[in-house]
Amino acid sequence: MEFEGKVLEILAPVSGQSARGTWERQTVVFEQPNKQYGKELAVTFMNKGQEVAALRVGESYIVSFDIESRNYQGRWYTDVRAWRVQPLQPQAQPPMQDMPPFMEEPQAGYSAGAAAGVIDDMPF
Which amino acid would we find at residue 90?
A: P
- Residue 31 pLDDT exceeds 90: yes
* Most confidently predicted of 25-34, 35-44, 114-123: 25-34
* Amino acid letter, residue 9: E
Alpha-carbon span 86 to 71, nearest angstrom: 31
Q: Structural domains in the chain?
A: 2-87 (2.40.50.140)
**What number is the average pLDDT over the span 81-95?**
80
User: pTM here?
Assistant: 0.67
pLDDT at 115 over 90: no
Q: Which has more pLDDT, 90 or 86?
A: 86
